[in-house]
Structures are given as C-alpha cells and as structure tokens.
Structure 1
Amino acid sequence: MKISFLIHTIYGIGGTIRATLNLAEELVDRHEVEIVSAFRHRDIPLFPTDPRISLVHLVDTRPKSPTYEKDDPVHQEPSEHFPRSEARYKEYSRLTDERVRAHYEGSDADVVIGTRPGLVAYVTQFAPEGAVLIGQEHMTHNHHKPELREEMRQYLDRLDAFVTVSEGDAEVWREQMPLPDTRMLSIPNSVPEPVVAPSDLEGNLIVAAGRLSREKRYDVLITAFATVVEARPEWRLRICGWGPDKDRLRRTIDRLGLHNSVQLMGPRSPIEPEWVKGAIAASTSRHESFGMTLVEAMRCGLPLVSTDCDYGPREIIKDGEDGLLVPVGDADAVAAALLRLIDDEPLRREMAAAAIRNARRYDPGVVAKRYADLFAELGAGSSQHAGTAPAAPRTQPFAPVADCVAEADGSLTVTVVAPQAAALKHPGLRLVCTHIEGHAGERVYPLRPDGTAVIPAADEFADGHWMCHADDPRTGRRVQLTARAVDQRGSLRVAERLRTDSGVRHLVPHRRAPQQHLVLRSWVRPVHVEAADVVLSGHRLTLTGRLVGPVEPSGEPSLVLRRRGDVNDELVFHGTREGTRGFSAVIDCEAAAERLEGEHEYWEIWLRYAPGEDPVRIGRVLDDVVRKSDVFVYPDVLLHKQRSLLLARRVLRKLRGQDQRLIKVTLAYNATNRLVLHVGDR
C-alpha cells in the first residue's frame, strides 16, 4: 500500500510535523510512504527522517536556492483551490495549486492524508482517483473561525474519514457538523519511546516546551513560578521553543525579577534530552487539541502539572496518578501544584513511574495499527500496491549517525546508531575529534564492536570547538558524525563534581545546526571566575559569582571594568567576599554612562580576587548551555543623561539641539561566554 501525507512543511519544528513523522516512520515498516511538503524553506528537515520515507517538496522558498520560487509571478497570483478563510491562505497561490495537482495527477497513492484544513481541501480536489481520502484535525473544531468551518463543509463531506486527535473534539465535530458519508473518529498522536534514559528526578528544573504563542499561556506559568521561587529559590524553570510571544514573555520575566530563575531556551530538537534534565514538566495552555509535549514528557519519566484545558490534557493525564490538572489561567493553582510535587519527592517519583507506564498507549505501533485498521475498513490497498512490500531503503553514503551521553563523571560516551551495525560493517572504524579552529591535534578513539567509544574525563581538549568524525582508516574515508540525540545531563551538573582549587576543564557535546553534526565545546581555564546571579536595583547591578582555580583569594575582591579591554582605561568597583571563594560586587551603571565617549562601547568585566594580583575575566561555562547569550539574558538599565561636552565634534554636530540622551546599559555574554557591559544610545 502507498500512503501519501500532504503537509505545509516538513522542514520546521511543530507538533503536526513531529506527529506526521512519528506515524510515517512506523507505517514505512510495512508500506510505501511519502511526505509531500508544500514548501521547502530549509535544506534539510530539523527532525531526523527515516531514509525509507520519500520526501517531496513542491515550492522552493529557500532564498539562496537556485530553484527559489517565492518571487515567481505565478506564486503572486492567489490560490483558486485553497480555502480563503484558512489562516495560511496568503501563503498559497496558483503555483501551489498547480504543483499539488501535478504531483497527484501522476500519483498511484492508495491513501492520501491532508494535515491541515487547506490541505484537506487540496486532497479532496487533487488526490488520485480511487484513493482513500483522510483529513486530519491537528487543532480543534472550536479553534477554527465559523467562516472556515462553513467553507470546509463541502471538502469534509468528500472525505472517507476525518480524524481528530482527541475524542472530546471528535464529539464536537459529530454534533456540530454531521456528515453521513464521512466517518468521524479520534486517533491520538503517537510518541515513540525516547532514545535517552528517563529522568532521574534528581535536579531542580521544571521544564516546559512548545511554541511561544499566547494560547500556550506561558505568562501564567512564569507568574506561578514567581511564587514557587519565593518558597524554593534553588529551583529553575526552562521553557523550550520559539514563537511570536518571546519578547512579551521576556518582559514578564524582567518585570517579575525572574531573569536568574527562568530561561527561554529557544528551539530544541530533539526535545527528549531537554525533558530528561527536568524533575517536573509543566503546561499552562488555554487550549490543546492533543498535547504532544505532555506525552513526550511522560515518556521521559516526568510527572506533569497541566491546565485542564480542552481537549487533550484531560484525556492524557490521569489526575493524581501521573500528574496534576489545574484550572486554566489560575497561576495560584499552578504554583500550588508545582510546590506539591517539589516538596513531596515520594509522590513525584510515584507519579513519574506511572507516567512512563501510562504513556505506552501512545506508542507509534499502537497508533499506527489503528490507522492501518482504518485504511483497511475504508477499502484501501486494492490497487497495485496491495500486498507489496515497502520500498527498500535508498542506498546511503558512508554517513554514520550517533548518540552522545555526557556522563556524571565528566566522560563522554559516543554510540553509533545508524546505519545499523555501522561499526561492525567497518572494522577499525574510529571516532576522530578535530579542533575546528585548528589550534590542536586530533583525538582518536576506537569504536568497539558494539559501536561505542568513550572519551575519558581526564583527556585534554584545547579550548574551542571540536568536530567529531567517523573515520575508516582502511579506506581513508572520514565524514562528520551526525548526532541523533545528545544527553547533556552530566554537563549540567559539572559544578557538583568540580574542585574549586583546580582549573576548569569542561567538555559539552551538542548538535550544531543546520546539519546537526556532533560537536564538542571545550572550555579550558587555568583560573576562572564563574558568574552567578545578577540583581538589578535602580541603576545598579549586583553581580555574584565564585573563583575557581589554584589561587588563593585574600582581602576584599573588586570588579575591574576595562573599556574595550584596555588595561589603561578602567573603572573599579569594590566588592565583598561571600565565603571562601564567592564574591558580590555592585556595578554603578551611571558611572559607565558618564564615561561614554561615543554612541556605543563595551566594557570587559574582570575580578581582582586579591590585592596586587592580575584580575581574571568573569564568564559562565559550568553548565550544559553552549551559547550563553541566547539563554542568560538580563534586563536593560535605561538612564537619561545630559549630553557630555566631551563628545567628539562630529557627534556634537549630529546631536545639536538635543538636551538629553537616553542611555541603555546591558550586561550580556559575548561569543566566548564572558561578561561584557554594553553602553550606548538606545
């Protein structure tokens, strides 16, 4: 049987994309499967894709592609077949009409599945004669505007089946739009078993994931966490995802003074290595058609706190058994539920175990069987594809894929997972790490017969980035190693095993976009000052941290700010010692603004840990985050200043007639994860 999925794009991140891939990867074991992507805006999909699945794109919108088509005149003409009330109507055109029609005119698919309303309409108009037509509802009846529902009625009436992801939504569709000739039913999305070990629940992280949009109500979660952190200040909240609500959420974090406790992590794919770093998963959506992130978190062994919104959470979570359901929009209830799980470790562990058990009902094999049964009931498989074996995998080049685990002792374990038994097929295959900046030699590790290689914690890696390769010395072939999943839990907890009287040597594995290669980030600091919390009060920034290295602090510490790194141009702020190696110091942003000589400049930040000693740069390296500037973000300080007579004449001429300037002072991490103070006109 040949099955064709029609999707908006397979090259992004989202629940529909993940659900489509999960189902397709399970079906391809027994059938021929293709995913037809209306648009292609990236070279390769962000989610790894089974090579047995055929990927077809119809319109190329990659700006640098030689086949770029976004400016094609036909693409500027409106679509005649895509529903006008659909949210993405303006993205479709006469060109997409023609491409979808042309693809399916030459198709021999037995089943064609549309994955959003407009594509369901395309399926009913362009699918090959005799194919079973299925529409999927990844949102809900109530999510769609009445105009779209009415416009879609004629298309839904032509379907063989319309599948929602929750039974509650299916009931609404059956009640509000009865269609005698279309079977309406619910089949949940599937979530595979994670390739990383479940959470050990030992950390102090609450993790949330999903699109940063208003319907996810992350503002409620952040507000609730303000109550949590007041009672349990050691706990942290990480929110993974991207979307249009990022700036508003950042303002909420700053307004509540939570910049030290709440991090917006950006998109993370795959998401499982992020879930397993947590001890609790949270969701505060006002609406969920399903709740794939809830199932993902459950499969990773996390208990849940979720709003009891329509429709998915109440069908996924067994309240009091594997998670806690709370009213929509109630920040106090969210905070109380989180604190209940934080304070009751036995309950947390009991719910985590139940979550793993209960989430197995969403295994791809279980869900795919329901779809296969539906296909058979609707008569699919009577064409030439009936009874045929799935297409054989396309011949793949020598391109091993590996998982990497940062162990608790600081070592790394790299395991080749694809192609199957790659290490056995290539005796003598080695893991070779090369310094990207070219400042050090190679590090070579043999791959065992089971495909694993271990990088000991004691091995020395020069500071910088190291690319991992699979190397076959018999043939001379060496290729960059693609990472499937990178488990960074050991890197997250480096501070727990670090001796503060010795230097820093920290190795963090990660996936480098866009090809998702396995890269190791090495930090080597003979003496290091690790930044901690930053507290804003008026125009003053209080910075805390600790000294690491074989040096002895004495006397009172001081912060040294150097304009553009110039040792002859400094600002000094006296601090206090916190314990043996900790410190606290206040930066007066007014003083830095008074010294501004142009429109913009920066100050490097150093710590003098003892009188007469050379200062040490302050940065942040002791965790699992490779690029700190994207995650650890501090509020701006805004100052109204009289314009200085020390400004250069050309600047004075430019600014003549204006009495005041608004100065913005920002504390941030640079490309090497060291702190700098940016000062300049807003």
Structure 2
Amino acid sequence: MRDVIGAKDYDLVVVPQIEPTVICMIACIGIRRNFAMHLHGNPRLEPSHLKAKILFFLMRIYFIKRLTYVFGTSPRQLESFKAMFRSNVRQYWLPNPVRRFDALQKPEGEEGCVTFVNVGRFSFQKGQDILLTAFAEAYKLRPNIRLKVVGYGDGEAELRNQIGDLGLAAVVSVEHHPDNPSPALAASDVYVSTSRWEGWSLAICEALRFGLPVISTDCEFGPSDILVDRRLGLLVPVSGGEELVRAMLYYCDHLEEERAHAEFRQNFIDIYDTERVVDVHADALRIAAMGPAPLIA
C-alpha cells in the first residue's frame, strides 16, 4: 500500500470501510495525502472481533481527525457514524447507483401461486434464517406461496439444512445468479429483505426497478431511507416474527391491487439511476480532493 500510494502524487485516496482505512493510513504515515473513507455497512455493529475493536479504537482516538471526508451510502448511516466517533469530519452522502436491466418477460409459474424472492449473501447479516422461519408460518396459512432465495456465501449449507428441517424443500428454491439477479426478480411477485443491518440496500432498489413491492426489516438505516412511500413497500421489525408473516399474507391477498403501483416504483427508483448518481460521486471526489492534505505523523 505504501509503495503504491507513495509512487504518485495522488490528490485523494478513497478507502472502503473503517478497518481498511486505518490499515492504509498506518501504512502511509509520513506521506502527505488526502484520505476519504467510504462507509458501506453499520459501523456500530461491525467491530465484532479483537482486531476490529483495535482498529476502531485507533480510528476514534487518532485517525478520525486526519480524514479529509467521510462518504456514506445513506444519510442516517452518516449521522450514526458522526455520533459514534464524535466526528467533525466533513461528510458526503453518495447514493448507490442502481443499474438498468434488459427487459424480461415474466415467465409462466405455477398457476395461482405468489412467489417471494430474496437476493443477498448467505450470511447472518442478511437474515435468511429470519425469512425462512416466517415463510414457514405463512405457508401453513397460504399453501400457494413460493420462495426464491438467491445468492452465495459460506452460509449456504446452513440455509439448505434449515429449508429441509422446516419441510420447505418443495416450495423454496436456492438459486445462484452471481452477476445478474434479473431472472429471479422477473419471475417473482414480491421482494423480501430480512437483513439485521444494512448500509443501504442495493437489492431493494433493484427489486423496485422491476416494479416489485418490497417487505423489509426496519434495520437502523438503509431500507427505511428507501421505502419512504407506502406504495413502495412495508417495513417490519428486525426480528421478523408475526409482523413479517402478516406482511407476506397481505401481499398474497392484495397482489393484484399492489401491481397497480409497479410503474410508480420503477419511476421512483430512477432518482438513483447510474447516469444521475455518477455526477454526485464525481462532485464528491472533486471536493474531497481539494481539501488540505494532512501529514500523518
């Protein structure tokens, strides 16, 4: 890192997340550069092991004052970071760009069935275990529902075991679309996010791009920054439980009237279109690069 960053007179070094930023800034002690940190997740929940705790401590007591800018994926995330680190560093909200997808015709599914879909890394953070538990309860009341769980990750074996233990193998499919979730989104009726925490949620935005209504857990920030209108979707507690089940049942019973809002969802998410957001990112980089370069010493 030191060799690369010191090789040229860079105006700005942008590093994602707190831990890599501290490591990078330690490596560059004595080199005059502007550093911007780009937050993605929830800093309050991320220092879960000793190494992370040490790096967070170093950020709080020393490196925070030497940052030029803090970029974040949601306004409330930046406010949470500011309070957690008692930071006076300038902040800039950089909304995630939402890509466009080729138009896909909805494939024919099982007649009379309502298909839910979840897209994300198979991990504790993304809460697929919460989703499967609620889906199992909803399935007892609405046997016409189906679920697609799309993603990858170390938690796949545990996910498949839970599907088997709940007796859902015939109605829940695990799918892998590593570069493009559009086949699964186009084949579904309702998107469900059960994350325990998020920085934003690009997956929710991409589901809205397809006109799907969204059910999401109301984690500290991210989904609630996006689902600002009832026509976009419903927020439920992070624990899921009965309220998540009720939300799934609601969309089962009101799917046709909810489909009337599909165009509203698609138009709404255009504010995060790549072509619009790229200018926001470019402006942030230009502003941060003009900041006074601190000497890390």
* TM-score, normalised with respect to structure 1: 0.39
Deviation at 1:151, TM superposition (A): 1.8
Q: Distance in 2 between matches of 1:185 and 1:201?
A: 44
Deviation at 1:309, TM superposition (A): 1.0
Q: Distance in 1 between matches of 2:132 and 2:139?
A: 10
> What SS class does the counterpart of residue 252 from structure 1 fall into?
helix
What amino acid is the match of 1:339? L
Q: Distance in 2 between matches of 1:336 and 1:200?
A: 27
- Which of these residues, 103, 117, 124, is aligned with residue 207 of structure 1? 117
Q: Distance in 2 between matches of 1:314 and 1:179?
A: 24
Contact 1:190 1:362 (C-alpha < 8 Å) held by counterparts: yes
Higher relative CO (Cα under 8 Å, sequence separation at least 6) belongs to 2
Matches within 5 A, 1:141-540: 141-145=43-47, 146-153=53-60, 154-180=62-88, 182-197=89-104, 204-380=114-290
What amino acid is the match of 1:315? D
Which is higher, the Rg of structure 1 or of structure 2? 1
What amino acid is the match of 1:352? A
Query: Relative to total residues, which structure has the larger helix share, 1 or 2?
Result: 2
> What SS class does the counterpart of residue 318 from structure 1 fall into?
coil
What amino acid is the match of 1:104? I
Q: Which residue of 1 aligns with 2:42?
A: 140
Matches within 5 A, 1:33-182: 100-124=1-25, 125-126=27-28, 131-145=33-47, 146-153=53-60, 154-180=62-88, 182=89
Q: Distance in 2 between matches of 1:137 and 1:179?
A: 14
Deviation at 1:359, TM superposition (A): 1.1
The Cα offsets for residues 309-364 of structure 1, whole Å up to 9 and x where unpaired, read as 11100001125211111111133211211221122133321333222122112112
Query: Relative to total residues, which structure has the larger strand share, 1 or 2?
Result: 1
Distance 1:301 1:198, change over 3 A: farther
Contact 1:161 1:183 (C-alpha < 8 Å) held by counterparts: yes
Distance 1:332 1:370, change over 3 A: same
Deviation at 1:367, TM superposition (A): 2.3
**Structure 1 gaps, min length 5:** 1-99, 382-682
Q: Distance in 2 between matches of 1:196 and 1:109?
A: 41
Distance 1:141 1:198, change over 3 A: farther
Contact 1:110 1:130 (C-alpha < 8 Å) held by counterparts: no
Q: Distance in 1 between matches of 2:114 and 2:281?
A: 40
What amino acid is the match of 2:245? A
Contact 1:210 1:293 (C-alpha < 8 Å) held by counterparts: yes
Deviation at 1:126, TM superposition (A): 3.3
Q: Distance in 2 between matches of 1:281 and 1:128?
A: 49
Deviation at 1:147, TM superposition (A): 4.0
Deviation at 1:236, TM superposition (A): 1.3
Deviation at 1:238, TM superposition (A): 0.8
Q: Distance in 2 between matches of 1:194 and 1:369?
A: 21
Q: Which residue of 2 aligns with 1:416?
A: none
Q: Distance in 1 between matches of 2:189 and 2:93?
A: 31
> What SS class does the counterpart of residue 45 from structure 2 fall into?
coil
The Cα offsets for residues 170-211 of structure 1, whole Å up to 9 and x where unpaired, read as 11222232333x212332221112233485898732110111
Deviation at 1:234, TM superposition (A): 3.0
Contact 2:12 2:288 (C-alpha < 8 Å) held by counterparts: no
Contact 1:196 1:273 (C-alpha < 8 Å) held by counterparts: no
Q: Distance in 1 between matches of 2:29 and 2:211?
A: 41
Contact 1:286 1:309 (C-alpha < 8 Å) held by counterparts: yes
CA RMSD of aligned residues (A): 2.6
What amino acid is the match of 2:21? V
Q: Distance in 2 between matches of 1:143 and 1:199?
A: 38
Contact 2:73 2:94 (C-alpha < 8 Å) held by counterparts: yes
Q: Distance in 1 between matches of 2:83 and 2:247?
A: 35
Deviation at 1:108, TM superposition (A): 4.5
* TM-score, normalised with respect to structure 2: 0.84
Distance 1:129 1:364, change over 3 A: farther
The Cα offsets for residues 439-473 of structure 1, whole Å up to 9 and x where unpaired, read as xxxxxxxxxxxxxxxxxxxxxxxxxxxxxxxxxxx
Q: Distance in 1 between matches of 2:202 and 2:212?
A: 14
Distance 1:197 1:110, change over 3 A: farther
Q: Distance in 2 between matches of 1:126 and 1:147?
A: 18
Q: Which residue of 1 aligns with 2:50?
A: none
Distance 1:158 1:199, change over 3 A: farther
Deviation at 1:140, TM superposition (A): 1.6
Distance 1:319 1:326, change over 3 A: farther
What amino acid is the match of 1:303? P
Deviation at 1:128, TM superposition (A): 11
Distance 1:201 1:283, change over 3 A: farther
How many residues are aligned here? 281
**Structure 2 gaps, min length 5:** 48-52, 292-297
> What SS class does the counterpart of residue 46 from structure 2 fall into?
coil
Q: Which residue of 2 aligns with 1:471?
A: none
Distance 1:102 1:301, change over 3 A: same
Distance 1:152 1:379, change over 3 A: closer
The Cα offsets for residues 203-233 of structure 1, whole Å up to 9 and x where unpaired, read as 7321101111112221221122123323332
